């Protein structure tokens, strides 16, 4: 059994050595090696994007330009509106957020997600219990009342 395995391994090594002399096989080996290196890297951004013209762009500047073009189109595009929808304008102070609403939102927050700009994750907020809920309630109601987000 061991001898059969050894001879099969030796045969495969000879095939690979012969393939190294072939330029097409060299390109395939380089491609596989490059792919293996990429698989070990962190994903930090997009590798390619298809622009409005349908052309695929792979360079950083081209990707940024494609995104800029797309966003400008989205933000400056006029959409048709039949003006049939109407609503009453609510004036006066915003409704206060209730403790039960904050509890329900915290209960439904997904766990094991990356933190946002504040650095807080759902598990930390949920672990604070009623003190944390009251703090969030005061913060949100203060924002609604003042109309601005505090600096700190």
- In order along its 152 residues, the chain shows pLDDT tens digits of 566 667 777 777 777 667 666 777 777 777 777 777 776 665 555 577 888 888 888 888 888 888 888 888 888 877 777 777 777 777 777 788 999 999 999 889 888 888 887 788 888 888 888 998 999 899 989 888 887 888 77
Please tell me the predicted confidence (pLDDT) of residue 125.
85
Is the pTM higher than 0.85? The answer reads: no
The residues, ordered by sequence, that sit 6+ positions from 56 with a Cβ below 8 Å of its Cβ are 48, 49, 50
* Element spanning 36, H or E: helix 23-39
C-beta of residue 97 within 8 angstroms of C-beta of residue 108: no
């Amino acid at each position: 059994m061991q001898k059969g395995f050894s001879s099969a391994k030796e045969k495969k090594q000879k095939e690979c050595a012969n393939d190294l002399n072939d330029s097409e096989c060299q390109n395939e080996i380089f491609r596989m090696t490059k792919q293996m290196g990429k698989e070990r890297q962190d994903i930090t951004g997009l590798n390619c994007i298809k622009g409005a013209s349908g052309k695929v762009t792979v360079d950083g500047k081209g990707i940024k330009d494609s995104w800029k073009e797309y966003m400008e189109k989205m933000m400056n595009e006029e959409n048709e509106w039949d003006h049939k929808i109407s609503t009453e304008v609510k004036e006066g102070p915003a409704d206060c957020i209730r403790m039960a609403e904050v509890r329900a939102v915290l209960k439904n927050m997904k766990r094991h997600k990356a933190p946002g700009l504040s650095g807080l994750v759902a598990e930390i907020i949920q672990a604070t219990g009623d003190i944390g809920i009251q703090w969030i309630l005061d913060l949100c109601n203060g924002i609604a009342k003042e109309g601005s987000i505090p600096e700190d």
